[in-house]
Amino acid sequence: MNNFWQDCLAQIKAMKLPPMIITNWFEPIELVRWDSERSDMVLEAPASKVQTIRATYLKTIQDVAVHLYGGQVKVTLQAVGALAGDVQTPAQPKGPSLEDIERRREETGLLPGLTFENYVNGNANQLAVAAAEHVATTMGMQYNPLYIYGGVGLGKTHLMQAIGHRYLDLHPKARVRCISAQDFISEYTTATRDSSSSRKALQIFDERYRNLDLLLIDDVQSFSGAKGSQAQFYRAFEALVPHNKQVVLTADTYTRNLKDIEQRLISRFSQGLSVAIEPPELEMRIAILLNKAKALGAALPEEVAMFIAKRLKSNVRELEGALQQVIAYQQFQPSAAKEITIDIAKHVLRDQFSVNNNLITIESIQKTVADYYNIKVAEMHSKRRPANIARPRQIAMYLTKELTQHSLPEIGANFGGRDHTTVMHAVRKITQERQGNAELNHEIHVLEQMIKG
């Protein structure tokens, strides 16, 4: 291993992180010393980048080094120009107490525990996590706004809050505000009402959002129809983003699918980076259950985690709720076994496991898809083939095949008497396209959740 760091860097590049992250934070790193006998690697980076790399990316470097070496590796990062081995950082002045820090974060709207360290990464959210970590350390310079979208219970709020926590770790005195769109509407409504007696109420509200370093808005789809709040948020947006103040947004759908929101806002939402969070794959669901059990102080065998994860697939919230039920039963039932077993999980979660796909009907799928794409249900049966109708019809056929036990001829018969080969073509077409089309893949995930209720 002549240059162990170059091997590590090649492995990091293979992780398919955004190119800007590789260029800005990994490629400037140089090897100072690699002692394979002592498994000790010393790296150096420009002084301006050292703090961010330590806070955000050093763990990734450590994990890759351990993987390549096949054992524990000590990784040390120092600023360029420091003497090899001289990695001590200057003593820091005494800062605020932990209690003061927690209180200030609560005042900004950030909740304890919703950090990157407690967030489980996987293929379903890899790009979103990488973008969030990048934004948290390079505020306003790129990816502004960052728009995170996905279905219910997939971890959008956690990821958004993690950005706030990391940013305050790096900039303790920064002005940060984390709020849901619904609470923003309520604040604006109150300020408008109070302004009837004093103009200061609206002025205070306006200044609160125009003078931030970081604004985090959750569930922006809730702005739908709230014209006054939309106008006020637009003012805040225009005061922040052009001045490199970061805005992070979450929503349940892609920007173009937002309903009853001004076009100028949708245009602004789309000007940065949009990243999707998809339902977690099996390995990620297992990891979520094991991590949550550990946080709750419960011993969850991996085979039980796998048993639950194979049966509950829709979102993180459902998984965590199921785990809470199992742990509570095991702790409070005198007759229950001391260890959590598959039999206990099967008994406690029997109602959730018994959800039958036969309860999903072709009619319910057709109505959900038609409503989502703003067409009439009758169009599912018609012979018309314009793109705005043919596409939703193919998606409805695909979902019917995926979510019900109906045969291809039965599906065709319920879509205007179409031949089974037409249904087969639709299923194959949507299956192939969703693999390379992130927006279509997200739309289908959303529709699946809506159909399953």
Cα 161 to Cα 132: distance, rounded to the nearest angstrom: 10
Core vs surface per residue 39-49: b (16+ CB within 10 A) or e: bebbbbbeeeb
**Conformation bin of residue 149: beta by default, left when phi > 0, alpha when psi is -120 to 50:** beta
Q: Long-range contacts made by residues 440-443, C-beta under 8 angstroms, separation at least 24?
A: 441/276, 441/278, 442/149, 442/150, 442/253, 442/254, 442/276, 442/278, 443/254, 443/257, 443/372, 443/395
Does the CA dihedral 161-167-172-174 come out positive or negative?
negative
Q: Does the annotation flag 417 for ligand binding?
A: no
Cα 33 to Cα 40: distance, rounded to the nearest angstrom: 8
Integer CA distances (angstroms), 255 to 219, 237, 258, 268, 445, in order: 12, 16, 6, 10, 16
DSSP 259: -
Q: Does the annotation flag 250 for ligand binding?
A: no
Q: Does the annotation flag 155 for ligand binding?
A: yes
Helix ranges (H only) for 22-57 are 47-52
What tokens does 170 get? 């790096």
For the chain, what is the radius of gyration of the CA atoms?
25
Q: Does the annotation flag 361 for ligand binding?
A: no
Cα 435 to Cα 243: distance, rounded to the nearest angstrom: 37
Please enumerate, by residue number, every residue annotated as part of a binding site.
Answer: 153, 155-157
Please enumerate, by residue number, every residue annotated as part of a binding site for ATP.
Answer: 153, 155-157
